[in-house]
Structure 1
Amino acid sequence: MGRKVMIVTGGSRGIGAATAQLAAVQGYAVCLSYLHSAAKADEIVTAIRDSGGEAIAVRADVADETDVVRLFETADRELGTLTALVNNAGILERQMRVDQMDAARLNRILATNVTGSFLCAREAVRRMSTASGGSGGAIVNVSSMASRLGSPGEYVDYAASKGAVDSLTLGLSKEVAAEGIRVNAVRPGVIYTEIHASGGEPNRVDRVKDTVPMRRGGDALEVAHAILWLVSEQASYTTGSFIEVSGGR
């Protein structure tokens, strides 16, 4: 196996940052995308380089097709042939009921979480597929237990967007299985990351952790380990599958 190159979208914080750093430890050259957090993205890149790894950060809004194309072209040029994509970039907005949501909010959520995942998957398949001269590869989509639980009273729109990511995982995995590409997903449960602050409740994990059978929130690195297993050769016969990293929820 030649050089391993991974793109991690939304790689400046939380699960994305943990995944980028673990991937570097495992020998991947990593391209992480970020939207707002240039300083945090630079911190991750510096930490990887200081540990002897290779990483770059690219500002890109995955909801913007031009940005997505530029992200992948930059990784091609600076790191080489893509072997793994982690579709991690995702957003949620303030907790509210469906009967309070407007179309602008719904479109923002779906543009990033659904359209962004599709566009990044498209660019990855174009590079990896043996049908177009590629050498294969692996895609891991970061879904959420919300897709199974619905997130009532909090963010049904986010949950629905992750339901779409689940369907993308299933459908795409079958589409490209004979072309050397494996497509899987992880469904994190309540994990200590900054995303909860976007929902207006920074301490959400501590509020709900007692509803988790394991009685605790998860750590981003626990999700990253599942992601890295799915992109590895150890998962060579696994596609269209989901790993729930959720403490038993």
Structure 2
Amino acid sequence: MATTKGSNPAVLITGASRGIGAATALAAAREGFDVAVNYASDHPAAEAVVAQVRALGRNAVAVAGDVASQAAVTAMFDQAEQALGPIAALVNNAGITGPIGRFADVDIHNLERILAINVLGTFLCAREALARHAGHGALRVIVNVSSVASTTGSPGEYVHYAASKGAVDTFTVGLGKELAAQGIRVCGVAPGSTFTEIHAKAGEPDRPARVAPKIPLGRLAQPEEIAQAVVWLLTPAASYVTATVLRATGGL
């Protein structure tokens, strides 16, 4: 049975209808959070995650919204707060890679969309969370999901995506230092290659088999493994961790 509104801290997770985001929603629920499950278009998948969160005894709501749109971000925070109460934590997880290939072959539409979701979307959601904190003081932590690509550069695969995640890492460090005096922590998690739909969406569903031998641990991560790192940063156990990016990369 779900708890009453506002009895648990609420976390809003972008891109939470599948993959790392969905796993993070369930891990957060197990840690005592109510969860706003943001999604871009797959409402049934988001509602399935909501049902799983509620089965764990927490409140949850599916909130549609394109993170690259200020109006959509405002609306999704409104809906989340109406259902769950003030947002105490934000996980900026929504992201896309675009097609795998050489940078010179990436078209302008893909470049614009990657930057809009991965970078501008992270900025807009963080700014909205901070604006609401100014009103009720609930926000305690922001976790930005980055990528190992931010440091490897991913040549020949998606340099453009890697660069967008490099921007996220810089944002994480700078904003964390800026907000530290207010008691708001800003952290990042940089996953290595993970078993999600992102490989198929990038045009290479068999990519996991190709990249696994390059990883020191010899395998890709499961979404649940990355989710544990994200949720640890949301908890008091990470109370002295801010302005930094945790690498969960299998040794890369």
Q: How does 1:1-40 map onto structure 2 within 5 Å?
A: 3-40=8-45
Residue pair 1:128, 1:181 contacting (<8 A) in 2 also: no
Structure 1: tracts of 5 or more residues without a match: none
TM-fit CA distance, 1:105? 1.4
Residues 1:9 and 1:236: Cα distance change in structure 2 (over 3 Å): same
How far apart are the structure 2 equivalents of 1:88 and 1:135?
A: 20
Question: Do structure 1's residue 60 and structure 2's residue 80 form an aligned pair?
Answer: no
For residues 120-152 of structure 1, the C-alpha deviation after alignment (integer angstroms, 9 at most, x for no partner) is: 0001112235xx551441000000000001111
Q: Deviations over 1:164-221 (max 9, x none)?
A: 1001101111111111210000000010001111111112112110110010110111
2:130 to 125, 128, 133: 125
Aligned to 2:91: 86
Q: How many aligned residue pairs are there?
A: 247
Answering whether residue 184 of structure 2 is matched by residue 181 of structure 1, we say yes
Partner Cα distance (1:116, 1:32) in 2 = 16
Residue type matched to 1:33 in 2?
Answer: N
Once residues 110 and 49 of structure 2 are traced to their aligned partners in structure 1, the CA distance between those partners, rounded to angstroms, is 30
Is the 2:147–2:190 Cα contact (8 Å) retained in structure 1? yes
Partners of 1:192 and 1:221 lie apart in 2 by 10
Q: State the distance in 2 between where 1:40 and 1:102 align.
A: 29
Q: 2:212 maps to what in 1? A: 209
Asked if structure 2 preserves the Cα contact closer than 8 Å seen for 1:176 and 1:182, the reply is: yes
Displacement of 1:45 in angstroms is 0.7
Aligned to 1:166: 169
**Matched residues in 1 for 2:133 and 2:69: separation?**
22
Deviation string 1:2-34 (CA, Å, 9 cap, x unpaired) is 631000000000000000011111111100110
Pair 1:44 & 2:79 matched: no
SS of the counterpart of 1:109?
A: helix
Question: 1:63-104: per-residue Cα shift (whole Å, max 9, x none)?
Answer: 111000011111111100111000000011111211112222
Which TM-score applies when normalising by structure 2?
Answer: 0.95
Which of 62, 72, 80 lines up with 1:75 in the alignment? Answer: 80
CA contact (8 A) 1:192 1:219 kept: yes
- The equivalent of 1:153 in structure 2 is 156
Other structure's SS at 1:83 match: strand
Tell me by how many angstroms 1:50 deviates: 2.3
| Cα distance in structure 2, aligned partners of 1:95 and 1:191 | 16
Q: Percent identity?
A: 49
Kept in 1: contact 2:81–2:87 (CA 8 A): yes
Q: Which amino acid aligns with 2:32?
A: G
* Bigger mean CA offset, 49-58 vs 62-71: 49-58
Q: For 1:36 and 1:133, how far apart are their aligned partners in 2?
A: 30
Letter in 2 for 1:218: A
CA RMSD in angstroms comes to 1.4
Alpha-carbon distance in 1 for matches of 2:201, 2:167: 21
